[in-house]
Structure 1
Amino acid sequence: MGTEGKPADDGAGTTPGGVRAGVAIHGTGNCPVVAASTAHDGPITGVTWTHAGDTHTEEFRARDPDAVDAAEGVPSPASVVDLGDERVYRYERPRDGKCACRIIEELDCPIADVRAEDGVLVLTLHLPDLERLRDIVSALDGVADRVEVRYLVEGAARGDGASDRTLVDRGRLTDRQCEVLRTAYRMGYFERPRDANASAVAEALDISPSTFAEHLATAQRKLLAETLAEN
């Protein structure tokens, strides 16, 4: 009815034009998860939440409960589940109009993943286009000190021969890990045959070969986790 002569569109063969974005939000002083991450060694993960009336209930996982318990700005948990190698915290607080995650959700943008590390809230978003990303950054103005777009991944093309283009989140690397990778690359450590061995690169960095190997392995593991992650 009303569609005569129009081909059926079942979605097959089409390619979404959206993006996957990694957004780091700095200076969200009202976020208990961020507060917990400032004292925690490693990221706070497993962040989920729900709204009921005027109450915001949130959960997160932490491997160092002593650090979380000592952190300022984290409400007393309504319940705690000890899973052995980590602990699950749950707390309630009034709904906050300045909550970064709530602001993003109100723009009709589900949040795919949340973690907090060293006082920074890091979100993964799947968006229809870059215009929506600009809307999010604008909406967070005044709520956060700074919003950093750490990476963008274009939607992979299907059936047209285009490559799957992925930009790696270098924000996962420390400054020292970036320096180690740059120096090793510049000196030809990754060439075959190598132009420089591990001892030569370590000497250029003024560190021991074992320290170089540790930094290199950690950096490579982070980059591979980002590159090979399933969207």
Structure 2
Amino acid sequence: MPGGVRAELAIHGPENCPLATLSERTGASVTDVTWAEAGDGVAEEFRIPSDADIDVLADADADAVVDIGEERVYRFDRDAEATCPCDVVESLGSPLADVRLRDGTLRLTLHPKSVERLRTVVAALNDAADTVELRYLVHTGDGDDADRSVVDWSHLTDRQREVLRTAHEMGYFEYPRRANATAVADELDIGLSTFTEHLTAAQGALLDELLPE
């Protein structure tokens, strides 16, 4: 059986993503996001719990399509020229296996052709969002040659390791999160911008280990 790559990325502060705003305002999970060209624009559909705030959905010009159990499918139109993070990923030849959102964070699951392609995807997304998080990476080889990646933590500073460890222990990387960035920064007694800086640097160092040139 051939090897492969499966990765999940969390996109914080995604640009040109109406669903990110909608998920943040409703506080509900948005799942099963799909889209297709429709004339000069793009028709987008998604699932959300039936009890989600109807006023927020109306403000987003989302129309109810069908009820499925305790969820409802909505559809809205968006400008095809406004490139969103999903468009960025697919333009690089990596179809998305799953797209969902919660609290304004976009979660993408994809199967890039290689870890090198994943590096390219992450680099491109860094220009289309505040922060890009590698939630997990599964990289397998053929048979007994399966790749079990090992991260060398010596590439991180003591502060970066502390930031990662505290964020992990407080549930910052869980879905849904048990602690947001502000709570973790407060626990570390540092400012929010400093936390983001350390977290971004630490994740960059880990990506360099996981995704070698």
- Normalised by the length of structure 1, the TM-score is 0.59
**Unpaired segments ≥5 residues, structure 1:** 1-13, 177-231
Q: CA deviation at 1:52?
A: 3.5
Specify which of 120, 129, 133 is matched with residue 144 of structure 1: 129
Q: Which residue of 1 aligns with 2:162?
A: none
Specify which of 17, 21, 32 is matched with residue 18 of structure 2: 32
Q: How does 1:96-135 map to 2 (within 5 A)?
A: 96-135=81-120
1:86 and 1:79 map into 2 onto residues whose CA distance is 11
Rg larger for: 1
Residues 1:97 and 1:111: Cα distance change in structure 2 (over 3 Å):
same
1:59 and 1:174 map into 2 onto residues whose CA distance is 25
1:73-130, Cα deviation, whole Å (9 max, x unpaired): 9631244212341111011122144311011111111000011011100000101211
Residues 1:175 and 1:15: Cα distance change in structure 2 (over 3 Å):
same
Tell me if the contact between 1:29 and 1:35 (Cα under 8 Å) persists in the aligned partners: no
Tell me if the contact between 1:35 and 1:119 (Cα under 8 Å) persists in the aligned partners: yes
Tell me if the contact between 1:32 and 1:74 (Cα under 8 Å) persists in the aligned partners: no
**Unpaired segments ≥5 residues, structure 2:** 151-171, 180-213
Consecutive aligned runs of 4 or more in structure 1 exceeding 4 Å deviation: 162-167
Residues 1:79 and 1:73: Cα distance change in structure 2 (over 3 Å):
closer
Greater relative CO (CA pairs within 8 A, separation 6+) = 2
Residues 1:80 and 1:88: Cα distance change in structure 2 (over 3 Å):
same
1:103 and 1:74 map into 2 onto residues whose CA distance is 26
In terms of fraction of residues, the more strand-rich structure is: 2
- Aligned residue type for 2:120: D
Q: Which residue of 2 aligns with 1:189?
A: none
- Aligned residue type for 2:35: W
Specify which of 32, 44, 67 is matched with residue 58 of structure 1: 44
In terms of fraction of residues, the more helix-rich structure is: 2
**SS of equivalent residue, structure 1 residue 132:** helix
1:80 is the counterpart of 2:69: no
Residues 1:174 and 1:31: Cα distance change in structure 2 (over 3 Å):
closer
- Aligned residue type for 2:61: S
Q: Which residue of 1 aligns with 2:175?
A: 172
Identity of aligned residues (%): 43
- Normalised by the length of structure 2, the TM-score is 0.63
CA RMSD after TM alignment: 2.9
